[in-house]
Amino acid sequence: MLLLEGATYRYAGYATEVLHDVDLRLDDGEIVGLVGPNEAGKSTLCLVASGLAPASVGGSLKGTLTLDGTPAAGLETHELAQRVVVGFQNPNTQRSGIAATVFEEIAIGPMNLGLPVTETVARTREAIARLRLEHLVERDPQRLSGGQAQLVGIAALLAMRPRHVILDEPTAQLDPAGTHLVGEALRALAGTGASLLIAEHKTDLLDEVCGRIIVIDGGRIVLDGPTAAVFDDPRLAELGVEPPARARLSRALVERGVDPAVVGQAIASAAG
């Protein structure tokens, strides 16, 4: 379990706080979506929940981050990295810069965990297969399209088989097919007991994979609940979040006089 309690955070050199008293709990096997307007604090929350802020990024944090019962503040950087991995929106910030091929790029994570070679190769192959990257394994990781680089970055995280994963707009550069692959891969990872936090504008993806959604605005959590309840909440649009297609469709049907119970059944069976 990843537990963030009473997090109030400000960046170094800034007088004002950008997160205010945020509580976040990710249970094992749980995928939680994080949405909110631009500048709401999603990326900052990703940094704080992964322990990168303040440890690596600087700034000051009130509140505590606990990973499986261990306070993050007491962990060395490499110990922290073994417990929680974080993926950024821009895959270029994440690339190792030392791998000659995509295969090596994906293998670096498990290798750094000190795993035997056979295990490293097995995990690397599995991550490659999950994201259908077989055709890229020999390529130079510096010479990929934005979408390819994003998939390679996610494969590199998956290969570490992390217990906790924080992703900041992991599909920003992906087409619908790539986005769907990522969704399936994240679900499979959660199936192994990992807990995930995903900041995303693509609410259709979150609707598919998340059990819970958190809405943040002005650095405060304003909604937190089961996915369907949050995405059907009429306040969502005012908060600058576009509801997923499912929620928009059901609202449109209900507004046109279709019985809500019938709409609910039809959508559940279509999703089934």
Q: How far is the CB of 168 from Mg ion (least distance, A)?
A: 6
Determine contact, residues 99/105, Cβ cutoff 8 Å.
yes
Q: Give the per-residue contact string, 148-187, with Mg ion (x = CB under 5 A; - = no).
A: ----------------------------------------
Determine contact, residues 36/239, Cβ cutoff 8 Å.
yes
- Selection from Mg ion, ligand ADP, none that 48 binds (CB < 5 to 8 A by kind) is none
State the angle between helix axes of 117-130 and 146-158 in degrees (0 to 180), rounded to the nearest 10: 140
State both tokens at 33: 């979506």
Residue selected from 1, 11, 21, 43 as contacting Mg ion according to rule CB under 5 A: 43
- Selection from Mg ion, ligand ADP, none that 11 binds (CB < 5 to 8 A by kind) is ligand ADP
Site membership for ligand ADP, residue 269 (CB under 6 A): no
The H or E element that residue 205 is part of is helix 203-209
Q: Give the per-residue contact string, 114-153, with Mg ion (x = CB under 5 A; - = no).
A: ----------------------------------------
Other CB atoms within a 10 A radius of the CB of residue 146 amount to 13
Q: How far is the CB of 195 from Mg ion (least distance, A)?
A: 20
Pairing of strands 212-217, 31-35: parallel
Instruction: Name the residue among 92, 67, 82 with its Cα closest to residue 148.
Output: 92
Site membership for Mg ion, residue 90 (CB under 5 A): no
The H or E element that residue 212 is part of is strand 212-217
Site membership for ligand ADP, residue 58 (CB under 6 A): no
Q: How far is the CB of 22 from ligand ADP (least distance, A)?
A: 12
Determine contact, residues 131/186, Cβ cutoff 8 Å.
no
Site membership for ligand ADP, residue 33 (CB under 6 A): no
Footprint on this chain of Mg ion (rule: CB under 5 A)? 42-43
Footprint on this chain of ligand ADP (rule: CB under 6 A)? 11, 14, 18, 36, 38-44
